[in-house]
Structure 1
Amino acid sequence: MTAGGGVPGGSSAGGPARHLPVMLGEVVAHLAPKDAGIYVDGTFGAGGYTRAILEAANCRVIAIDRDPSAIAGGADLVLAFPGRLALVEDRFGNLDAVAERLDAPAFDGVVLDIGVSSMQLDEGERGFSFRRDGPLDMRMSGEGVSAAELVAKLPEEELANLIYRFGEERLSRHIARAIAKARAEAPIERTRQLADIVSKVVRTKPHEPHPATRTFQALRIAVNDELGELARALAAAERALKPGGRLVVVTFHSLEDRIVKSFLATRSKVAAGSRHMPAVGGAAPSFRLVAKGAVEPSEAETAANPRARSAKLRAAERTDAPARDVADLDDLLPPLPDPDARRPAASHRRR
């Protein structure tokens, strides 16, 4: 995710930046680019990480983004680094296949910046923001089911469960009930409509996040299959990184960070087997942790860019052990919050 707002001296794909990449110095330090290396920026966005990698070493970068507008916006950066940058419109969960198509089947580093970009949030017509009115869309690639379709078609209970699981919103049932009531009267097709509905249910103080933050997050994650895509990308990076190659991931909320933390914790230890693959018990670690725990942005950065305040960076280095087979992507995903856990036991209910 990029963040910022016209900070002097910033740069993006084509020149002065409206948006700054979060934890740029920390990302480059942990990725440690080297001359002749091949690196994958799985979330190109405004090109901030890609530019910094290309400037740090005489290397190549394969930059991936599922948003066609991001790829189009990177044309000037391709010209600025002739022969060293390839832009590809695709999902970062396919990063190993993309690299192989470009005759780079193994690479020296992967960086992933998970979530929606500031550019997407700031463009009301994309439908990501509750602060800017626009069509309730949220599709990063412009394909598939939109947020408006989910809001219109999901049964109330399923909508409540989605908001609880992906938004970790305790008032999800109340929100879903309000949405169901509102959509029975008129279609919910605009971001401002939905934000107003949620704001009548969720009460927050002036210094707290907007009442609709978690609901919009949940819908965006569902529309773009963001957690599944992250799991696929981690597995792809494990397959394609060279021994000594670095994986650096920046996340912005607990569900994403939990997946990355769980993956790296598992892969940095001797395998214990699973219900799908009991035979893999004893397999050597495929990663060595570079950062012990999560690295967080500095106070100076969070003061300058409030969107960076929830960022966490995790990094690991590939060993020479074979990549572990993934029989089921669910093995890479920690358990999501259980909607039923909100229901008090029968003995504790009011009579």
Structure 2
Amino acid sequence: MTASPSPSTAGPTLALVGATGRFAEAIASALALRDDPWGEIRLYAPGVTCRTLTVRGREQPVETLREDSFDGVDVALFNLSSEVTGEWASRAVAAGAVVIDASSTHRLDEDVPLVVPGINSELVSHRPRGIVALPGPLTWGLIDAAHVLHQGWELQHLVVTGLIAAVSQSDRGVARLREELYTVAAEPTIGQHPGDVRAAVSDLPVASPFPAPLALNVIPWVGEATDDGFTTAERAVDHEVRKILDLAATVPVVVTLVQVPVVMAHSMALHARCARPVSPDKVRQAYVAAPSLVYLDERTGEVPTPVDSVGIDPRFVGRIRQPKGAGHHIDMFVSADTIRRGATAMLTVAEMISAERGRGAPAVSRG
């Protein structure tokens, strides 16, 4: 077994399962910036792999995931597709590991906590199945801002318009956007006539995961169709926000997701109606005080943008305003690198579990 060097070989064993791609790289990058409680760190991926990942300053091989991979593992970080997560997570728990799952597999299971550190961290210790779920990348973009509003003024209605970057379709989406941008940039008149953008990008070698051209365009469709007119991605954000904030069933969460020609980082326009009167100044103060948010004051010309959010841990929030005469309503805009946010949250949860197990708590809490 190949292990990365550690200043403390007596520490707990951490496994990153699905140690390839942008999310795994974000986890490795975040590890380098944190206190290191780990002994051995193992890297796994399904199937034969010849890849490496730099962990603790050393290039470490990613090993093939096997049935015995979880022997001696204390905490397993899962970054696999939902199609295979259930099977491998069950094996990890059976071997004695606590699973922290970034996939959609367990997010809405009643007996699996859906955790955002700093919002409902106490749920980490209540995991009857030995699994802790994390929300999806789109929910990471708005949950901190929504939590501050709910905590201070109690949400009664939340309307979300998400401006979703091409990375939502993984490397394939990013590659397709770049190919389209290169193509349309060569002709200064493209985008001024019916059908010209579609025609220009119709024969590109990179297959498109989008239902329409993304360059010079926006697409009000992210996810798959549902019976009620929303998409699966929109419904997922609705359900995850509702579960994390413990919103009453009577509180509407209305989500519209729009694919935009941005490479990384998602943005969200939020409109909230609150149970108690709310003022822009009070909301600004609350966001300044929130450790997970950085407030940008539009009155000084600063506004959140996705290109300024890439690679940054905090979420940027600004454009805080209120419709005239609507004292229970508030509007704002948020931009966030949600890959980075999810990676740091996953490590935070792992460190909480490590500390808990260090105090002698059982691997699977029955509380």
TM-score with structure 2 setting the length:
0.31
TM-score with structure 1 setting the length:
0.32
The structure where helix makes up a greater share of residues is: 1
The structure where strand makes up a greater share of residues is: 2
